[in-house]
Amino acid sequence: MTSPFVTSAWLAERLSDPNIVVVDGSWHMPNSARNAQAEYLDGHIPGAVFFDIDAIADTDTNLPHMLPSPADFARAVGALGISQDMTIVVYDEVGLFSAPRVWWTFRAFGARDVRILEGGGPQWRAERRPIETGLVTRRPAEFRAHLNPAAAAAFETVAARSRDSASQIIDARPAPRFHAEAPEPRAGLRPGHIPGSLNVPVSLLTEHGMLKSPEALRNLFAERGVDLARPIITSCGSGITAVTLALALEQAGAENVAVYDGSWAEWGARPDAEVES
């Protein structure tokens, strides 16, 4: 299996390669008091374009950063100068938080080669590698987008799998939120979790801003009752860390993993969705 990660040394040697595009996929929780786009303008990896997770999304729904249509995605990333045949290297300024979401989105729409920068912006900066400021613009490109229907699971699918147990549903939210012991950061959502789901908090998957080894991940999932041979649907608060969980599952050996795009932002708001606490 080809690693989804590249090192900062690998990228530093290839920054001038016209077939490689660097993407700042930073995004922060609504209550974090951080502005990812402003931080990008203040300093980013040279040549990096900014992928706005909240803008390159389905703007016809009140759910946060849902996958856009193929046409809308193609238009947005084409304007950033990205084609489906480039090597796309995504990073974020936490280390490994929102970059997997952008990695997954590009893959879902048919990008040929998408990687994640190991350690992200913090690792790059710690190594005193070059930083530039301001907005980067690239020559527009054509991205031929085709959505892989197996990448994302809709509410109806998750509700059915919750009842029939055909798939394991795994939630990446912190344990207090999963067990309804802490409030959700978004207003109007009921506390609790999808009936029958398991909890593997995303904080358990990483060390020092990097994903744990496949062996460590396999041990963690076994301890949590996850069967890697079964179909799996991942969930979280709004579809960001659910992808980090999906990435970890793939690295551990799972082959059938889908992301519940609406996640708890949808499930916790729907009166017809059953909730366990």
The residues, ordered by sequence, that sit 6+ positions from 67 with a Cβ below 8 Å of its Cβ are 57, 58, 73, 105, 108, 147, 152, 261
The angle at the Cα of 155, spanning 114 to 116, to the nearest 5 degrees, equals: 15
* 111 and 88 Cβ atoms separated by less than 8 Å: yes
Which tokens is 151 given?
Answer: 């990448």
Check 23, 236, 247, 249 and give the catalytic one.
236
Report the alpha-carbon angle 8-261-69, nearest 5: 90
Specify whether 236 is catalytic: yes
- Catalogue the active-site residues: 236
